[in-house]
Amino acid sequence: MTSYRCTWLVSTMLLAVPVCAATGQHPLPVSKFAVPPSPLALKGDARGGQYLGVLGRAAAWLGEETGEAELWVHPFKLADDFRLDFRIPDYVAPIRGSDVARTVVIRPEITTIVYSHATFTVRQHILAPLDLPGLLVLLDVSTFRPLDVVVSFKTVFQYAWPGAFGGQYTLWDSDTKAFVLSESLRERNALIGSPWAATASTHPAHALPDAPNTFVIPIDPARRDSEFIPIAIAAATAPRDSVARIYQRLLENGAALYHERLEHVRSLLASTTSIDTPDDDLDLALEWSKINLDEAVVCNPDLGCGLVAGWGPSGQSSRPGFGWFFGGDAAINSLAMSATGLWSQVAQGLRFLGHYQREDGKIPHEISQAARTIPWFTDFPYTYYHADTTPYWLVALWRYWRATGDTELLDDLWPVVSKAYAWCLSRDTDGDGIIENGPGNLGAIEVGELGEDIHQDIYLAAVWIQALEAMAELSQARGDATLAREVAELGRRARAVLNRDYWRDVEGHHAFGILRSGGTNGNLTVWPATAAAFQLLDPARAELTLVKLASDSISADWGARMLSTGSALYDPVHYNGGSVWPFVTGFVTWGQYNYRRSWSGFPLIDALKQATFDWARGRHPELMSGRYYRPLDTAVPQQFFATSMLLTSVVAGVLGWDPDAPNGRARLAPQLPPSWQRMSAHNLKTGASSLDADVRQGPGYLAIDVRATGTPVSVDFVLPIPLGAQDVDLTVSPIDGAGEGSNRKGKHDGQHLITIPISDRQTRLELTWQGGLVVDPPTAKLDPGQESQGIRVLDFQESARGWSLVVEGNPDDSYRIDLHGEAVRVASGPASVDYREGVNGLTITFPPGEQRHTATIGLESLRQ
């Protein structure tokens, strides 16, 4: 598998390009090159206060859509308040860039802010090179009057929190036409400037100024039409002349660096799973999910290359959101990345965390970008803060191995696996087979009363039991049958404890945790969804808990709250006590689909999709208010486990894709909303195989065309059958298995199960039936700031007289739910139905009463 480069002074793409050695030598002009439209571009008004990130492996522009930004080259924060202002002869005072920033165009490879004034238009292209430790701004200027661009920033030049060094200063180098940021030993250096600069501010050379550093770029009419006006930012722990060479490389190779990014995006999208649905916004959000997750890869010159958790401006501090290495986040994100083909990125993240495993086997929770400059691994409490990161790393490695069949990485990391497993076993002090929380071993909860007196929580228990399944299979694959049997037996015992001891019979849902006193914390929380996502719960009890999680007490219109609104501890803006987290929303969605409750799962997918465009464009915030559709002020605006759960929910939920490369198998279990007539997936990867699947459906049929390139693969198809359907018939054409017939009849528990070897010969499966009924999941149109007000489908079952539908909504409000299938009539409840062309439009009016009223709607078939 590919490893990312950690050498900063050489970019392999640019070796043939001559580099100016002397800092006083002027670089070649930056000739304008075309920035073509991107099919993934997100364009809109520039919004003050809204996050805008431009990210490379080694540097980050963390700012706002109106142009202000922090400048980072890892492990340094170089500057705050970087911005452009403009001077024209008509005005005495400069025109603030933020006042005339009108449009942003966010592309995966380059981002553009358009400043518009009556006398000029300036397009600010912001480029983060893929590997080079620096940033490049290219200004495309159009003006009919004299114009000066005023560039200003406030020097910080400090390590990421909590690292620090002293003796910083900044000075203007008139030969280089750049500000030099340095310190007394001159071991750390940075340059920020432009060869077009004419004048600059001066400050005492021995200190960092309180006032901004400013340089002025007069626009040369003879050059502006053919050249970009470049602003380069470079830094490294290296001598000043070495950093100057990076700076020159940025200035001289703008086109090459841009095309390197463009080709990287093209290669990334071509080599990973792509999905086409009737919802173009969902398709676009999924493509941005993959781009986001690739941006999680960071190469730190002191630490190596790994996966960070998220990005956001640090403000007055020096912590860039969650832009450092988090073990649990990397594991969660790898579930989506492994399933969709982002394999080299996952392998890099697994190796990175394994490298920093503690001697006793514990996998790190978080590693600061400045960790090598301080005693981070020994003196700070954060490195190994959580218990879940160690079993989650085992799960992540297993999922990666199942997707890729990469036995080489498994062999290389087996010593890490063995130590990690041993550490997990040491955390089971009561012998029930489940590892425990405790000081320095957090699970679901970091802060708040909900976590008080917790001995075990269901999230940590679920991750551990999934890790036991992983260890059993991995041990078997490595030929250790004895260990595999021991682990499998421990897994069976732990799973029995989970399903017995965490169940609260009176309340009818799974508990949050087991207390040190032996009782349970009976709060209804989102965390049992983790166990449902891993299919660890007994179906009957899982159904009851998932009904509770589908209710508005947990699932707001925009996602799942961590804690029920009915709890005395509920606080809609509390980090762990009531806010909405997109990543746990994904667990709820995944769990609903696992137990064939798509009508409760899909509305949350739709909400995650909408969040892609409503806040930081193309990004997902860390968490939102539990009361209003809005991110919390404290939320990190680009959080990768929020993004990854949209991808996981669609791939593992709607498609039901589960690769098993070591056994030459895969699972495909589509559950499309009935209003969708089609859905296709390209490049579903399992080892050396790649599947293309086209799913079509309509009244009384479901058809799948599937083909494999590369190695043939045996696919387990799980096909949904509408409740109440009759005369179910499956036709497979052609069938590759020798002696197989082409017609299969029968069903199993509401599904049709069949395993077929798939090769480069296209195979068609067609399932037909008569009658039956399917719920079209109701979705909510979200407006920023709104309260939760939509309808929810809590349950849908066959009954003696037809079907029963359990819904939830607001008193005195009316809602419509579409039921696809045969014509029906209302048997009971405050509802009416209008049947047209295979769709029953069910209108439900909730009577006065409670804030959330649950009505049972009985449906009786008219076919009788």
- What digits encode the pLDDT tens for the residues 632-673? 999 999 999 999 999 999 999 999 999 999 999 999 999 999
Average pLDDT over all residues of the chain: 92
The answer to whether residue 347 sits within a structural domain is yes
Domain assignment present for 273: no
Based on the domain organization, do 493 and 575 belong to the same domain? Answer: yes
Q: What is the mean pLDDT of residues 214-222?
A: 95
Let me know whether 17 and 71 are in one domain.
yes
Residue 59 shares a structural domain with residue 147:
yes
* Distance between CA atoms of residues 451 and 212, nearest Å: 45
Residue 857 CB partners (closer than 8 Å, separation 6+): 804, 805, 806, 807, 826, 828, 829, 831, 842, 844
Res. 828 pLDDT band, cuts 50 70 90: low
pLDDT of residue 746 exceeding 70: no
Q: So what's the pLDDT on residue 599?
A: 97
Average pLDDT over residues 827-841: 83
Quick one: 626 and 744 in the same domain? Answer: no
769 has a pLDDT exceeding 90: yes
Q: Are 128 and 59 in contact (CB under 8 A)?
A: yes
Q: What is the pLDDT of residue 862?
A: 44
Residue 607 CB-half CA count within 13 A: 32
Give yes or no: residues 568 and 465 share one domain.
yes
Are the CB atoms for 310 and 581 separated by under 8 Å?
no
Q: 593 and 481 share a domain? A: yes
Minimal CA–CA distance to 67: which of 18, 8, 139, 175? 139
Domain check: are 753 and 843 in the same one?
no
Per-residue confidence band for 438, with pLDDT thresholds at 50, 70 and 90: confident
CA distance 500 to 791: 33
Q: Is 761 within a domain? A: yes
What pLDDT, on the 0 to 100 scale, is given for residue 759?
94
CA atoms within 13 A on the CB side of 59: 27
Residue 4 lies in a domain: no
Residue 397 lies in a domain: yes
Helix (H) or strand (E) holding 843: strand 839-845
576: domain CATH number is 1.50.10.10
Q: What is the pLDDT of residue 551?
A: 96
Instruction: Tell me whether residue 763 is in a domain.
Output: yes
Over residues 50-103, the pLDDT tens digits come to 999 999 999 999 999 999 999 999 999 999 999 999 999 999 999 999 999 999
Q: Which pLDDT score, from 0 to 100, does residue 8 have?
A: 34
Tell me which of 460 and 844 has the higher pLDDT: 460
Q: Which tens digits make up the pLDDT trace of 572-582?
A: 999 999 999 99
The total domain count for the chain is 4
pLDDT confidence band for 798 (50 / 70 / 90): confident
Cβ count near 584 (within 10 Å): 28
* Residue 550 covered by a domain: yes
Does any domain span residue 509?
Answer: yes
118 Cβ neighbours under 8 A, 6+ residues apart? none
Range of the domain at 409: 285-654
- What CA–CA distance (Å, rounded) separates 359 from 343? 27
Sign (positive/negative) of CA torsion 346, 347, 351, 352? Answer: negative
Q: Which two tokens stand for residue 693?
A: 């699947």
Same domain, 524 and 481: yes
- 128: tokens are 């983060």
* pLDDT (average), residues 242-251: 97
Range 328-343 average pLDDT: 98
Average pLDDT over residues 121-129: 98
Per the model's pLDDT, the better-predicted residue between 830 and 592 turns out to be 592
Of 3-12, 615-624, 659-668, 808-817, least confident by mean pLDDT is 3-12
Domain boundary among 639, 654, 669: 654
Query: What are the pLDDT digits (tens) for 587-621?
Result: 999 999 999 999 999 999 999 999 999 999 999 99
Give the model confidence (pLDDT) of 347-388 as tens digits.
Answer: 999 999 999 999 999 999 999 999 999 999 999 999 999 999
360, 244: one domain: no
DSSP of 84-118: EEEE-TT-SSPEEHHHHEEEEEE-SS-EEEEEEET
Average pLDDT over residues 537-554: 97
Q: Of 744, 772, 800, which one is at a domain's C-terminal end?
A: 772
Q: What is the dihedral of CA 238, 241, 242, 243, to 10 degrees?
A: 80
472 and 551 both lie in a single domain: yes
- Are residues 297 and 210 both part of a single domain? no
